[in-house]
Amino acid sequence: MKTLKYLTQQQLSFYQENGYLVIPDLVEKTMCSKLMQRADELVETLRPEWDRSIFTTREQARNSNEYFLSSGDQIRVFMEEEADQLATHRVNKLGHAMHDLDPVFRSFSHQALLADIASDVGFQQPGLLQSMYIFKQARIGGAVNIHQDATFLYTDPISVVGFWFALQEATLENGCLWALPGGHKLGLKSRFFRKGDGTAFETLDKHPLPDKGYVPLEVLAGTLVLLHGLLPHYSGANLSAKSREAYALHIIEQKASYPHDNWLQRGAEMPLESF
């Protein structure tokens, strides 16, 4: 049996059996606050760019698609799909290379502790592929439908693991994660890829993901949730008065092959880095 660096054998076994693992108290409260404050600063800086590139143009759909597809090696702000009654667009998330480009998120993402956890769950040469800051704002934050992360961050063999950090308490009321225990054993159902100027889904297994059997992952601020790339999961809309901010970092195995038609592409000047 291999020697573990951070996880207990019991934690690793739970992860392998269930496809997820909740690790409370991984992030100090002061660090949660620091990341939240930094995210607000980034929105303040980046929102004018979003306004310019999308909101002021008549070709919104095409520009919005291009804005998303070219965000793999940038930090960009994304809005909720549903504008609220005042027709103002509210921030949904930041993505997708904050772990590379922003000093605060970079140093948080490159902690040795996370490298130890990645090693424990089986990575040989982990690569920090993608990051997102999710705001899930009070009464505004939209739902995220059932999906597997490997649909969007595909490698051959499949290797993606999500490191999902709760920076605020996540509850049933404010849209916590829901996961299907053991669902990572069902195989990959579909793959999202670039097609022409846009994107498409390829069905790999005609049996859809189950819509029952999910358990809520209610967690306190500072908790890390590990999510196997094949684990079906979702989160509900935030109907409460409390926001549910989280930071998600997605790791892939550098030895796995990364298709040229994955939606997320990084420029040659930004090679994948390890921890």
Q: Among residues 54 and 150, whose Cβ is nearest to Fe ion?
A: 150
Mark 132-161 with x for binding to Fe ion (rule: CB under 5 A) and - for no binding: -----------------x------------
Minimum distance between the CB of residue 248 and Fe ion, rounded to whole angstroms? 7
Q: Where are the beta strands (DSSP E) in the chain?
A: 20-23, 75-79, 91-96, 126-134, 144-147, 161-166, 177-179, 190-195, 198-203, 215-217, 224-228, 233-235, 246-253
By CB under 5 A, what part of segment 210-229 binds Fe ion? Answer: none
Minimum distance between the CB of residue 148 and Fe ion, rounded to whole angstroms? 8
Q: Among residues 80 and 149, whose Cβ is nearest to Fe ion?
A: 149
Minimum distance between the CB of residue 164 and Fe ion, rounded to whole angstroms? 8
| CB of 89 closer than 8 Å to CB of 79 | yes
CA 191 vs. chain centroid, Å, equals 16
Name the residue number minimizing CB distance to Fe ion.
149
Site for Fe ion (CB under 5 A): how many residues?
1
Q: Among residues 120 and 149, whose Cβ is nearest to Fe ion?
A: 149
Residue owning tokens 């991984």: 26
**In degrees to the nearest 10, what's the CA dihedral of 147, 151, 152, 153?**
120
Q: Among residues 149 and 253, whose Cβ is nearest to Fe ion?
A: 149
For position 120 contacting Fe ion by CB under 5 A, the verdict is no
Q: Among residues 4 and 237, whose Cβ is nearest to Fe ion?
A: 237
Q: Where are the beta strands (DSSP E) in 51-160?
A: 75-79, 91-96, 126-134, 144-147
How many degrees, rounded to 5, is the angle at CA 151 between CA 168 and CA 217? 30
Instruction: Report the distance separating Cα 256 and Cα 195, nearest Å.
Output: 22
Residue owning tokens 């606050």: 33
Residue owning tokens 């702000």: 77
Q: Among residues 149 and 245, whose Cβ is nearest to Fe ion?
A: 149
Minimum distance between the CB of residue 192 and Fe ion, rounded to whole angstroms? 12
Mark 90-109 with x for binding to Fe ion (rule: CB under 5 A) and - for no binding: --------------------
Minimum distance between the CB of residue 88 and Fe ion, rounded to whole angstroms? 26
Minimum distance between the CB of residue 134 and Fe ion, rounded to whole angstroms? 10
Chain contacts with Fe ion (rule: CB under 5 A):
149
